Amino acid sequence: MKQLIECVPNFSEGNDMGIIKQITDQIESVEAVRLLNVDPGRATNRTVVTFVGEPQPVIEAAFRAIKKAGELIDMSKHKGEHPRMGATDVCPLIPIANITMEETAKVAQQLAKRVGEKLHIPVYLYEAAQPNKERNNLSVIRAGEYEGFFKKIKEPKWKPDFGPQEFDAKRGGTVIGARDFLVAYNVNLNTTSVRRANAVAFDVREAGRNVEENGKKINKPGSLKSVKAIGWFIEEYGIAQISMNLTNINITPVHIAFDEVCKKANDRGIRVTGSELVGLIPLKAMTDAGKFFLQKQKRSTGVSEKELIRIAVKSMGLDELSLFKPEEKIIEYMLHNPEDNKLVSMTLTDFADETASESPAPGGGSIAAYIGSLGASLATMVANLSSHKKGWDDRWEEFSAWAEKGQQYKDELLRLVDQDTKAFNRIMEAFSLPKGTDDEKKIRKEAIQNATKMAIEIPFKVMQAAFASMEVIKAMAENGNPNSVSDAGVGALCARCAVMGAFLNVRINAAGYDDKKFTAEILEKGKEIEFKTINLEGEILKIVESKIEA
């Protein structure tokens, strides 16, 4: 499996799109990396760039971008609201997939060494890449900013980790490190006062503020852990903001940060009007936020991913200053391959037309998965209707939990719609491989067997998910909104159809697989699921009939 690292360099230019484009062109010139986001800020005069790739291509792309930024940006003329010390001010690497923080730190050290030695730029390591814990904090390293580093760099304790011990007037210095996923997040206020914005920032940030008690200065921490914050005025929008770095969103997620700023601002007579994300955010952070705000309203959280994101955007006012586009702001969406959900992205008419065409895929396996998703969807609908039913207010959490479960089964079955067709296409590709020599025959046979195993496993997963969804369907037939009991009944019929249809695909593909021990085991499990499904369908329909006739 590929190791993936995210790189988020911050360049000290936010107004000249020509300069920004030349820098990002360098990143895109490295074939194996993917540029995800370019986020320029006029007031900060700073651009946050995000790209992803395997370790060595990421090093190459970052090196080229740092080199180009040093050529194009003159720090002696730079003005901006954000703290900064170099043309490439900071360049963090973040582990994304199949790579540890320790490994990412070593990659950051490789990049820093190359920048220092080849480009002759003073480079400081920070966070996990910095072995000296006394100088691993970015704000401590950057203290004094560009203007103060001409003197600071001469101090023995501030000798750069790599590069010359002389501050470069044009390019400044660069900080390179490895860190956890950081969310840069700004909250908008209905004031122009930086002093008042800073007061709120000090109230919430972990570092807090220094206060005097009994003649002594002591530190009073803020209310949020793993949060850095300052107040500033954004001339472009004519408002003050709380600018925050959420350094560990597992400790303080974005919705908690927003809510706490709202409380502290309100205590000081200030209103929060909205917020903005700088750069990208993980999908889970957005769906968690959506659930949080729905729970505050005592509403069901068992709604679609799309709806959770919409609730999060509206609740935090993420679209106040500019349009919030999930496909451009959520990291998983940026990495998404459209081929992964080609079928389920179609309209109902196009999907039916594609199924009816002379192409053998999508076939029965994909249709079984889709029917199963409709069964889970009906159960989820009943749960949501029950959660919001007048007079059942004390049961909203019970039905919300069922709706969340139903959504999970629905999403899994939808994913399997395209997976089943992919499995079929892999078999066709394997059969088309050359077979002129003994080696080619061997490779072809192995590919056919691997593809066949996948074509057995995918519909078996459909069976498992559709059968599991019947737990939700039965609960809704028994305890859900009685006006929707027929919908639960139709859900049961869909689930049964999905299980039996998928099992036909398991059986036909098992006939072509050489590992008979594997096929015997999976067919035995399939028969058991089919048997249990038919019985459970009968139980659910009996409940439905009794309620319809009552």
This prediction's pTM? 0.79
Question: How far is CA 14 from each of CA 21, 126, 528, rounded to the nearest angstrom?
Answer: 11, 24, 62
Three-state secondary structure readout of 270-325: CCEEEEEEECCECHHHHHHHHHHHHHHCCCCCCCCHHHHHHHHHHHHCCCCCCCCC
Instruction: Reply yes or no on whether the pLDDT at 286 is more than 90.
Output: yes
Annotated catalytic residue, options 39, 168, 420, 487: 420
Active site residue 388: no
Instruction: Reply yes or no on whether the pLDDT at 546 is more than 90.
Output: yes
Count of CA atoms in the C-beta half-sphere (13 A) of 379: 36
Whole-number pLDDT of residue 215: 84
Instruction: Reply yes or no on whether the pLDDT at 74 is more than 80.
Output: yes
Convert the pLDDT of each residue in 180-211 to its tens digit.
888 999 999 999 999 999 999 999 999 999 88
Domain locations in the chain? 4-178, 183-334, 338-549
Percent of the chain with pLDDT over 90: 87
Region of residue 361 (left: phi > 0; alpha: psi -120 to 50; beta: else): beta
Annotated catalytic residue, options 82, 89, 259, 418: 82
Residues 179/245, Cβ–Cβ less than 8 Å: no
Active site residue 420: yes
Whole-number pLDDT of residue 523: 97
Closest CA to 503 of 449, 453, 458: 458
CATH class of 338-549: mainly alpha
Whole-number pLDDT of residue 550: 66
Whole-number pLDDT of residue 333: 85
The CATH architecture of the domain made up of 183-334 is 2-Layer Sandwich (3.30)
Whole-number pLDDT of residue 134: 87
- The mean of the pLDDT values for the chain is 94
Q: Which CATH number fits domain 4-178: 2.60.120.260, 3.40.50.1820, 3.40.605.10, 3.30.990.10?
A: 3.30.990.10
Closest CA to 463 of 426, 423, 505: 505
Residues 106/82, Cβ–Cβ less than 8 Å: no
Domains 4-178 and 183-334 share a fold: no
List of E strands, 312-401: none
Q: How large is the average pLDDT for residues 399-426?
A: 96
Longest pairwise C-alpha distance within the chain: 90
Closest CA to 500 of 399, 365, 304: 365
